[in-house]
Copies of this chain bind each other. A is one copy, B any other.
Amino acid sequence: MKSNLKNIAVLTSGGDAPGMNACIRAVIRTGIYNGLNMFGVMQGYQGLIDNNIKPMDARSVSNILHMGGTILKTARCLAFKEEEGMELAYKNLKAKDIDGLIVIGGDGTFTGAKRFGEKYGVNVIGIPGTIDNDLYGSDFTLGYDTAVNTIIEAIDKIRDTADSHDRLFFIEVMGRDSGCIALRTAIASGAEAVLLPEKETSLKELISKLKDGVNTKKSSSIVIVSEGNKYGGAYDIAKSVKRKFTHYDTKVTILGHLQRGGSPSGFDRILGSRLGYAAVNEMIKGETMQMVGLRGNEIKLTSLEEALNIHSYKLEADLLEMTHVLSI
């Protein structure tokens, strides 16, 4: 059954992720191509409440495909968790006759969208945009691939100096409670070990691995620390290790927010385009309360319900085992 959709608004919410702009461009242009009026909401749900909603044409998204961040800006918005905030948001949409809302973000974003859609009957489609790759229903979330590339470029640089000095580096990477970024950047950077939220690592095991490296004449070692790991931050772990392992000079780097920015990779530009394109097409077809995601090489729907309730990233134990083997 085809919807009678006329006006769609799009917003980005939660942490920004590279590829969001490619996705916004796709949403706007796909809507316009299909004869809809398109709107952009500034600063996520806050902009819905503040009525910071502007019409967008095809040229308004020119030359943004390759840019990091989000031209719609993003924010975390407490007011939208309250009845009052949602009510205001709804009135603002209603006043503009906007009957579809596409939200790009992570689980917090989807939680809000789901409640909003249920309560007011607005058509809602979610697009998984977060570097953390922690959403069920999409093999990869928008921004994750770029973040991995950004991180390994940084580690390649650190490896230069680590090698020149025979040093041990602990490098803390993002990912919240998902170890996906940590595990995969560990593989991609040839790290000697990785500490994950999904699996406790004993200090003893870690030190034993580092000693193996010394014995086999490695000129440096790199340990990736996922911010969500159970043991603590990179500084804490470095301190504990230093007490029992003094062969190398030890340094710590917290990569921080540079992991979120940068021009999106080809992968993320294509993914963002496909997800944005699909979101609008699915909404036109009458779909609502769904997330569009990449599975294999296809775009598939998952209900927001499922996307929110099923824990997404499962430790890829075979990849962890491989990390050990390949860093001998």
Contact = CB atoms under 8 A, between A and B. Distances in A.
Contacts of A68: 157, 160-161
A149 B266 contact: yes
A114 interface: no
A246 interface: no
B16 A260 contact: no
A179 interface: no
B187 A269 contact: yes
A158 interface: yes
A78 interface: no
B73 A163 contact: yes
Contacts of A69: 160-161, 163-164
A266 B161 contact: no
Q: How many copies does the complex hold?
A: 4
A32 B322 CA distance: 13
A325 B160 contact: no
Interface of A is mostly: helix
A30 B148 CA distance: 24
Interface stretch (A82-90, A92-100, A214-222): A214-222
A258 interface: yes
Contacts of A184: 266, 270
A24 to B, nearest CB: 11
A150 interface: yes
B326 A164 contact: no
Contacts of A18: 160
Interface string A143-159: 00100111110101111
A59 interface: yes
Nearest to A183: B270
Contacts of A59: 216-217
A296 B33 contact: no
Contacts of A67: 160
A297 B274 CA distance: 19
A159 B26 contact: no
A178 to B, nearest CB: 15
15 contacts: A12-B164, A15-B161, A16-B160, A25-B326, A58-B328, A68-B157, A69-B163, A156-B261, A157-B258, A158-B257, A159-B261, A254-B256, A273-B326, A295-B296, A296-B296
Interface of A: 12, 15-16, 18, 25-26, 29-30, 32-33, 43, 58-59, 62-63, 65-70, 73-75, 139, 145, 148-152, 154, 156-166, 169, 184-185, 187-190, 216-219, 251-254, 256-263, 265-267, 269-270, 273-274, 277, 295-297, 319, 322, 325-328
